[in-house]
Structure formats: C-alpha cells, structure tokens
Structure 1
C-alpha cells in the first residue's frame, strides 16, 4: 500500500523541479534574445541598418557611396535595409525559442507576435520615387479641416 503523503510529496517535488527547469529555459531564451543583432544593407551596401533584440533599429550606417545618391534614394535605401533586417527577426527569434523553450504555447505566441510586427519583405522592383504634384495625388494647400 502506497503512502498518500509520499505521493503528494513526489508530485510537489516533480512540479517544483519542472518549474525550475522551465524558468532556466526561459532565462536562457531571454539571454539569447538579448544578443540578437541583425544587419542588412541596401543600395549596393551604401546603407546598412542593424536591428536589436526587440526588432527595432539600433544603428544606421552609410558608406561614402551615399554621396552619389539623391536624398530620396538614401531614404528609400534606409527603409529597405530596415525592412529586410526586421523581416529576418522572426526567424532568428523562432530559432532561439525552438532551441530554448521548445514548442510551447508561449513560445508560439512570442514568434507569432514577431511575425505580425515584422512581416516578410515582398520582393519588388526598385523603390518608387516619392509622388510629385500632378502625379494624381492632391497636394493642394487646402486643409482637410475645412
């Protein structure tokens, strides 16, 4: 005959051990995510953007080659490099989550949130020039407030 108190104690010990192991895995995940640094370049390497552990740009660098670009091309290159770096963030986060906490509901939620916030970049042609007056957009001086 088994001792009910011993069974309860074993259950509590198992729960405590599992909780400690889970906490260690999540701490490992937190540390790994804190080291994320993803850099992507655009305009032939003239512009680079680095995103950090939260997917937010932390650095923008430019080479001397930007002197040959028009301001709108520089701005478009910054945006392109940023979108590419951010689009790589969910995959890196998914790799870390998979290696640390595994297939869990919270891990799936973390990755799904990153995928929603930083979607994949759609392959398209060169960045479009900003619209100019007469291109079909109303850039009149009239206020929309009336």
Structure 2
C-alpha cells in the first residue's frame, strides 16, 4: 500500500509543474500577441493602415495618390483599410493561441470576443443601434442616446 503523504506530495508537485508550464505558455502567447502587426491598403494602395495588438490602429500611411481623391473618399479608404486589417486580427490571434496555449475555455472566449469586435471584412456592417428619432436631422444623430 502506498503512503498517502507521498501521493499528496506527488500530486502537489505535478500541479505546481503544470501551473508553471501553463503560466509560461500564456506569457509566450501574450508576447506574441503584442507583436501582431497587420497592414492592409485601399484606394489602389493610396492608403495603408496597420493595426497591432487588440486590433488597434498603429499607423496610417498615404501616398501622393490621395491628392486625386476627395476628402470623403480618403476617409472611406482609411476606414476600408482599417476594417480589412482588423478583420484579419481574429485569424492571427487564433493562430498564436493555437501555437502557444491551445484550445481552452479562456482562449475560446478571447477569440469569440475578437471575432465579435472585428468580423470578417466580407460580412456586411451592422447598422447602428438607435432608440428613436430625436428630431435632430443633421444626419449624425445624438451622442446622448
């Protein structure tokens, strides 16, 4: 018959080793996520937007070709390039998580949040949520809704 105390010590040692390994994998995942850099362009390359960790834009570049665009076209191109880059973020995040920590409940939640925040560029944008007309017809709506 085995000694119960040695079994407990073995189980605690194994738990500690697993905790250390998991912590190292999550630390590696965090470092890889912080290095994410995704660049997309729009308006035939006149506008380039780079997004980094969390899909946040880190750089916007424009070539001389923007001088042939109207201001509203430039704004639309920036948004298009940013949306395209952000839509690739969940895929890159999934790759990193798969290579570092694997498929866990935590990584599934993180990925689902990223996919909800940055849907595929092919998906139509969701219409803004409004709660009725405030009579202000400036086309921008109220920010106090």
User: Structure 2 length as normaliser, TM-score?
Assistant: 0.85
Provide the C-alpha distance between the structure 1 equivalents of 2:66 and 2:60, rounded to a whole number of angstroms: 12
1:52 deviation in Å?
A: 0.6
SS at structure 2 position matched to 1:44: coil
Superposition map of 1:84-103 within 5 A:
84-103=84-103
Query: How many matched pairs?
Result: 129
Whole-angstrom CA distance in 2 between matches of 1:74 and 1:9: 65
The CA distance in 2 between the partners of 1:103 and 1:118, in whole Å, is 20
Q: Please state whether the residue corresponding to 2:28 is helix, strand or coil.
A: helix
Counterpart of 2:51 in structure 1 is: 51
Alpha-carbon shift at residue 71 of structure 1 (Å): 0.6
User: Partners in 1 of 2:80 and 2:116 — Cα distance?
Assistant: 18
The 5-angstrom pairing of residues 1-146 of structure 1 reads: 1-122=1-122, 138-139=137-138
Q: 3-state DSSP class of the match of 2:106?
A: helix
For residues 85-113 of structure 1, give each alpha carbon's deviation from its aligned partner in whole angstroms, at most 9, with x where no partner exists.
00000000000000000010001111111
Return structure 1 stretches of 4+ with deviation > 3 angstroms: none
Please give the alpha-carbon distance, in whole angstroms, between the structure 2 residues aligned to 1:91 and 1:17. Answer: 31
Root-mean-square deviation (CA, aligned residues, Å) is: 1.8
Rounded to whole Å, the distance in 2 between the matches of 1:62 and 1:99 is 34
Where does structure 2 lack aligned partners over 5 or more consecutive residues?
Answer: 125-136
Offset of 1:58 from its aligned partner?
1.0
Return the alpha-carbon distance in structure 2 between the equivalents of residues 31 and 104 of structure 1: 18
Report the TM-score, using the length of structure 1 for normalisation. 0.84
Tell me the secondary structure at the aligned position of residue 54 of structure 2: coil
Shift of 1:122: 2.3
Once the 2 structures are TM-superposed, how far is the Cα of residue 139 of structure 1 from its aligned partner? 4.0
